[in-house]
Each structure stands twice: as C-alpha cells, then as structure tokens.
Amino acid sequence: MLGNFSYSNPTKLYFGDNALDNLAAELEKYGNNVLLVYGGGSIKKNGIYDDVIAILKKCGKTIVEDAGVMPNPTVDKLYEGCERARAGKVDFILAVGGGSVCDYAKALSISVHCNEDPWDKYYIRFEDVDNEIIPVGCVLTMVGTGSEMNGGAVITNHKQKLKIGHVFGDNVFPKFSILNPVYTYTLPEYQMVAGIYDIFNHICEQYFSGEDDNTSDYIMEGLMKSLIHSSRIAVENPKDYEARSNIMWTATWALNTLVACGKTTDWMVHMLGQSVGAYTDATHGMTLAAVSLPYYRFILPYGLQKFKRFAVNVWNVSVDGKTDEQIANEGLAAMESWMNELGLVMNITDLGATEDMLDGITDGTFIMDGGYKVLTKEEIKAVLKESM
Ligand code: NZQ
Ligand code: ZN
C-alpha cells in the first residue's frame, strides 16, 4: 500500500541543447550581485564559463567569482565562501558545475546569513534553516547526484573525518536548473561512469525497502532499465545525444523526491560510501560501487522477494526451475557484470582505504532503519571488510 505523502518540487527545469537561452530571463528575477560558483576549471576549458559570463554581463550583473569548489566540498571552503559572499553583498548564487558545486552553493545559501557555525547547526545537529536564504540557480555540467532538483547538500569535514549530507526543505531547492546534455560530453569517462552508478544506486536505495505493490517501484524499474540501456550506448559513444540526455533526465528523477513518495527507503549504501569518502576523498559514485555488492548480498535473505523481483523485472532473469534465492542471486550477478562492463571501482582498497581505517569508517557510518536489516556496528565492519 502506498503510504500517505505530500509532494511538491519547486525547481524549474530547462532541458535541452539550447537550455542556456533561458538563463537571462531567470536572472532578471533576482538581485544585481551574483556569486558565480564553479569548480576546478573544467568550465573554462569547455567554454561554458565564457557563455555564462557573457549572459551575466548582458544582464548587467555585478559578478563575484567563487572558484575552486573541490569534488566532495569541504567545510573550510564553505567558511571561505561565506566571507566572500558577505563581502560582495551577494543576492543570488549561480552554480555552474556538478553535484559538488550545486551542493556547495546550497550549503552557502543557508550559511551566509547564519549567525553560528553552519557545520554544527546543519550537519551535526541537523537543524532546520531559520535565517535568510540566498536563492540559488544551477547550470549542470556533471550528471549523477540529482542535486539540480533536490534540497541535498553534502559537506565533508576532513578534521573530523566526517562526510555528511543534510536534505533541506523546498526553500533550499534550486530556483531553476539548466540541463544541457551536451555539457556532459567533456566529462572524463571515470566521472561519467561514477555518475551513472550514483544514479543507479539512488534508485536502489529507494527500491530495496518495503514489500508493497506500489507505483513508485514500477517507476524505478523503468528508470533502471532506461539507465542500463543508455549507459551501454554512452560508454561506446560518449557523444550520443540520445543516451546522454536519457542519463541526465534519469538522474534528475532518481533523486528529486518523486520515487520515494509513499514508501520507505534505505540509504545504507550511501552511509557506507560517505564514510569511506570521509577517509579517502574518493569519487562519490565509486565509493558506492565498491560497497554495494557486499552490502546487497548480505541483506538479500532479509529482502528476498524484492531481490527476486529486481532480478526478473530489471535484469530479465528467467525463473524456470530455480529457487527464489537462485533467481535473486542471478539478479545481483547480472548487476555485477554490468558494473564491470562500465569499469567501476569494485573495492574500497583501490579507493585508498586500508585495514587501519576500518574502525573509523565503521564509526563514521550512520545506521539507517528503513532497509531490510538494521545493521549492527559489527555487521557494518564485516561489510566493509568484504568490500576491501
Ligand atoms: O571541478 P571541475 O574542474 O569542474 O571538475 C569536475 C570534478 O573534477 C569534473 N567535471 C564536472 N563537469 C565536467 C567536468 N569535467 C569535464 N567536463 C564537465 N562537463 O567532474 C569532477 C566531479 O565533479 P563533482 O561535482 O564532484 O561530481 P558529482 O556531480 O558526482 O558530485 C559529487 C558530490 O555530490 C554529493 C557527493 O557526496 C559529492 O560530494 N552528492 C549530493 C547529493 C545530493 N545533493 O542529493 C546526493 C548524492 O548521493 C551525493 O552524495
Ligand atoms: Zn549518491
């Protein structure tokens, strides 16, 4: 049965190879001082920076630049950005980049006018926002996180060895996002496939929970099938517009709150992956790939019917003459061979995790209770060990 829910999503999307044409009209709705947030320079190499700057100038905006947002943005960068935004009396934040840049922009939007330490308030105490929020718009260049249409903002604190995501409410969602699939053509293959697995795992996190017969699960099966199909085309030909646009659109729907409506969700793979990320600073999607199969094989007996349904409906595993357990395991084997086909990193050792980090990574893993088995600390450590 579908549980009760309310649903809204305030982000306006512009999708397609001319989506940037809508930026000027959106910018006109906001104040004059724009903080342009971007990463390590990819947008300067591929020309997106020049196009965005030209539009900002044409709109007569005063531009303050905040460059160098790193993958897995840090709390130190957040403090620095707050200073910069205050000095520039910023009215609007334009994020041009991937999930890291979009997440950072959202974290900044609620931190600039926060009169205490935003890390403690939002990431340690998980409090709601009760101060002025600077509106954010996104021009997306890397596909995976869904940050373009959600309220999530993940920040890493290297001193405390914690990587924490807070999912904020509607007022923190981007006001608009510009999604041009062509912008993703210049992504290195490593980032492209990490993003593809991030999308897939967002769906798994919401799918592997509950046994009900509900529409959300059917939507997710469709999204997974589209993603598997398009990923194979994109790996062969990264400039296949149809495949790249399907992947971009799937990423948005995988994590813009829709598919979680009326059902419980898990998120344990992300909790494990984030803690691995806090120790290794590894690429987000790869941390998920590296822990997924040990985790799913461990919980399979507790959610057998759903793993069987996954095998049949997503991976077309035949059922004839097989036990439920065999079918379910064949589904995970099919998933594993697709992951290998993409070239994902399949263990945390290759991401830089070592035995002596295991206790710390275990301690930094939040335990969720929406999946098929609430893990104990010992079980978390065992899954991590199996992931090495
Ligand atoms: O910094 P630049 O030079 O731009 O390079 C980036 C970066 O090195 C590069 N890149 C991005 N677009 C490119 C490009 N290179 C060439 N051409 C382009 N068009 O790609 C690298 C990775 O970018 P990043 O933004 O870090 O990747 P992603 O989008 O995967 O974001 C990862 C962050 O998002 C968080 C992750 O934890 C991580 O911190 N997440 C956010 C979520 C949310 N808001 O809901 C959910 C996710 O589960 C995730 O946790
Ligand atoms: Zn993710």
Distance CA 147, CA 365 (A): 22
pLDDT in tens, 202-257: 999 999 999 878 899 999 999 999 999 999 999 999 999 999 999 999 999 999 99
Region for residue 126 given its phi and psi (left: phi exceeds 0; alpha: psi -120 to 50; beta: otherwise): left
Q: Which two tokens stand for residue 85?
A: 């935004």
Ligand 2 center to residue 86 CA distance, Å? Answer: 30
pLDDT for residue 212: 78
Atom 14 of ligand 1, residue of closest alpha carbon: 187
Nearest atom of ligand 1 to the alpha carbon of 183: 19
pTM given for the model? 0.98
Q: Give the Cβ contact number of residue 199 at 10 Å.
A: 26
Out of 45, 66, 96, 154, give the residue to mutate to test ligand 1, the one with the largest number of ligand atoms within 8 Å of its CB. Answer: 154
Q: Within 13 Å of residue 287, how many CA atoms lie on the same side as its CB?
A: 23
- How much is the pLDDT for 213? 83
Question: Quick one: pLDDT at residue 145?
Answer: 98
Predicted confidence at residue 249, as pLDDT, reads: 98
The confidence score (pLDDT) of residue 149 equals: 98
Residue 2: pLDDT above 90?
Answer: no
Tens digit of each residue's pLDDT (9 = 90 or more) over 80-119: 999 999 999 999 999 999 999 999 999 999 999 999 999 9
Supply 301's token pair. Answer: 């007996």
Pocket test for ligand 1, best of 46, 70, 74, 103 (most atoms within 8 A of CB): 103
pLDDT digits (tens, 9 = 90+) for 325-345: 999 999 999 999 999 999 999
User: Which atom of ligand 1 lies at the shortest distance from residue 72's CA?
Assistant: 39
Q: Which residues line ligand 1 (CB under 6 A)?
A: 39-43, 46, 71-72, 97-101, 103, 141-142, 144-147, 150, 152, 154, 165, 183-184, 186-187, 191, 195, 198, 255, 270, 284-285
Instruction: Provide mean pLDDT across the span 366-380.
Output: 98
**Separation between Cα atoms, residue 290 and residue 218, nearest integer Å:** 26
Query: In angstroms, what is the span from residue 99 Cα to ligand 1's centroid?
Result: 4
| pLDDT tens figures, 48-65 | 999 999 999 999 999 999
pLDDT score recorded for residue 245: 98
> Distance from the CA of 204 to the center of ligand 1, in angstroms?
20
Is pLDDT above 90 for 318? Answer: yes
Q: How far is the CA of 114 from the centre of ligand 2 (A)?
A: 27
Q: What is the pLDDT of residue 211?
A: 81
Q: Which amino acid is at 35?
A: L
Measure 89 CA to ligand 2 centroid, in angstroms: 32
> How does DSSP assign 279-333, residue by residue?
HH---HHHHHHHHHHHHHHHHGGGGHHHHHHHHHHHH----TT--HHHHHHHHHH
Q: Ligand 1: which atom is nearest the Cα of residue 69?
A: 1
Q: What are 154-186's pLDDT values in tens digits?
A: 999 999 999 999 999 999 999 999 999 999 999
**1, pLDDT greater than 90:** no
Per the listing, tokens 């595993």 go with: 317
pLDDT, one tens digit per residue, over 263-281 is 999 999 999 999 999 999 9
Cα end-to-end span (Å), the chain:
38
What is the separation of C-alpha 214 from the centre of its chain, rounded to a whole number of angstroms? 24
- Of 36, 284, 368, the residue with max ligand 1 atoms within 8 A of its CB, to mutate for a pocket test, comes to 284
Gap from CA of 98 to ligand 2 centroid (Å): 12
